[in-house]
Amino acid sequence: MDTNDGRQRATLQRIAHRVMLERGLEPDFSPAAIAEVARLAAAPAPGDGARDLRGLPWCSIDNDDSMDLDQLSVASRLDGGTIRVLVAVADVAALVAKGSAVDAHARTNTTSVYTAAEIFPMLPERLSTDLTSLADRQDRLAVVVELTVGADGSLAGSDVYRAAVTNHAKLAYDATAAWLEGTGPVPPALAAVAGLDASLRLQDEVARLLRASRHEHGALDLETIEARPVFAAGEITDLKPQERNRAKDLIEDLMVAANGVTARFLEAKGFPSLRRVVRTPKRWERIVEVAAQAGEALPAQPDARALGAFLARRRAADPLRFPDLSLTVVKLLGAGEYVLERPDRETPGHFGLAVRDYTHATAPNRRFPDLLTQRLVKAALAGSPPPYSHEELGELASHCTAQEDAANKVERQVAKSAAAMLLAGRIGQRFDGIVTGASSKGTWVRVFHPPVEGRLMRGFEGADVGERIRVRLVHTDVDRGFIDFER
């Protein structure tokens, strides 16, 4: 395949469409779904029972080019030193009815798929980037999660209710992080809204308190490398690592807290729910071995608090290699999954977050479990019965887990095709890397520069996850996303 014709992005788009279909995902919306959206005139107006909170200094923080905005947030200090944070989640359920053609597509894919060349949104763009998006300076319906946080990071109170909100400032992660850290100017959109600077400082304070509290209970602070391709005139020129920053941490910490409040709200109402869990790691013994190689000792039985403390020490001692250690731990912990939580039964918690009550509720434009959770929440608020049976929720939990895995494989395969394009002219070159997977299905290595993963075809005997090795590039296949190394 000729990949040097200036049309590499188009090649990756064709690959992405093919792989979506191979993995049981639908890359295109049905005519019925398109017709449903075409009949929509406007976003719904606030209805009875929705509080009017449009005057608060709400803002969104997301990627620079994101238009499918799921959350807004705002904070204020209360008497006694506590801080109240409100997280507004786009009311997608108001326009996407259960059983509709749009819902059928969302239920099939269960997630937006973000490939190196093209995004396959879970909902048609007129919904996700407009009518159901908490778009810049637009009045929208939302489900609000309210948290009152004490000075020690503990949750002093919470509530869930419907409200009308307005996004007064569409902010971006990098510029907001630079302002919070004192390394960049105040973003113009932030400066234009009275009281927003104070609100964001409080949100940042609360996020740090919440994170510190979770870490005390054993939450893991991991940092892996994710790279996005850089295109110029349709050709890939580089892979750029995505940097973690303070604004991303702020949103992550607030969303973890909001998801926990939502899970407990449904439980208190006697409703079933979909919980997001990461079970006790099955390869704990290998994590113990990795720690021993770094001169540290972990207990023989899985212990999140001990693992979290070990990771904190390694981050301080060797920050340059910490992403490699994080990747190793992530692989050994295993993937998350969705499970049915019934009022009369207790499910496992989330090992990596050190929380028991955890659902996905804050991204209904992008994830079907969040839309499903929103329907449950709105039914509970209205005093209606749950819109899903236990049997249906159990089936959906398994389906959402499987489709999330399929979507991740699509994203990885297209990313590998992009990486294969970048490396096609470098056959025979040597690279330093780390073993990221070792099983009967094969041994995998991620090289450091550029940050790409490939299969170890020769010399894999005895290699295990976390081991650093030197490899030589022997083959690439752009169409299949293959990158092959030998030791």
Distance between CA 35 and CA 32 in Å, rounded?
A: 5
322-333 and 304-317 helices, crossing angle to 10°: 160
- Distance between CA atoms of residues 431 and 256, nearest Å: 37
**Tokens of residue 217, six digits:** 């209970």
- DSSP track, 398-452: HHHHHHHHHHHHHHHHHHHHHHHHHHTT-TT-EEEEEEEEEETTEEEEEETTTTE
- Domain map of the chain by residue range? 8-278+335-417
Phi-psi bin for 90: left (phi > 0), alpha (psi -120 to 50), beta?
beta
What values do phi and psi take at 21, rounded to 5? -65, -40
Contact 348, 339 (CB under 8 A): yes
Helices 390-423 and 368-382 cross at an angle (nearest 10°) of 150
Kind and range of the H or E element at 101? helix 101-109
Q: Which amino acid is at 123?
A: L
Per-residue tens of pLDDT for the chain, all 487 residues: 444 445 888 999 999 999 999 999 999 999 999 999 999 877 777 777 899 999 999 999 999 889 999 999 999 999 888 999 999 999 999 999 999 999 999 999 999 999 988 999 999 999 999 999 999 999 999 999 999 999 888 899 999 999 999 999 999 999 999 999 999 999 999 999 999 999 999 999 999 999 888 766 656 666 776 777 788 877 788 888 777 899 999 999 999 999 999 999 999 999 999 998 877 777 888 889 989 988 889 988 888 788 888 888 888 888 767 877 887 888 887 778 898 988 877 666 666 555 667 899 999 999 999 999 999 999 999 999 999 999 999 999 999 999 999 999 999 899 889 999 999 989 999 999 988 878 778 898 988 888 888 999 988 888 887 888 999 999 999 998 899 999 9
CA 372 – CA 387 distance, rounded (Å): 9
- pLDDT computed for residue 1 by the predictor: 41
Do 196 and 168 form a contact (C-beta atoms < 8 A)?
A: yes
d(CA 285, CA 300): 7
**SS3 of residue 486 by DSSP:** strand
* pLDDT value of residue 194: 96
What local confidence, expressed as pLDDT, does residue 5 receive? 46
* Burial of residue 27, with CB atoms counted within 10 A of its CB: 0-12 exposed, 13-18 middle, 19 or more buried: middle
Closest CA to 322 of 332, 313, 333: 313
Calpha distance 151→210 (Å, rounded): 10
Quick check: bond before 450 cis, omega within 30? yes
Question: What pLDDT sits at residue 309?
Answer: 86
Give the helix/strand (H/E) hosting 177.
helix 173-181
Chain centroid offset of residue 413 CA: 18
CA distance 427 to 429: 6
Euclidean distance between CA atoms 303 and 217, whole angstroms: 11
Task: Give CA–CA dist 467/487, Å, rounded.
Answer: 12
pLDDT at residue 139, rounded to an integer: 94
Neighbours of 205 (CB within 10 A): 17
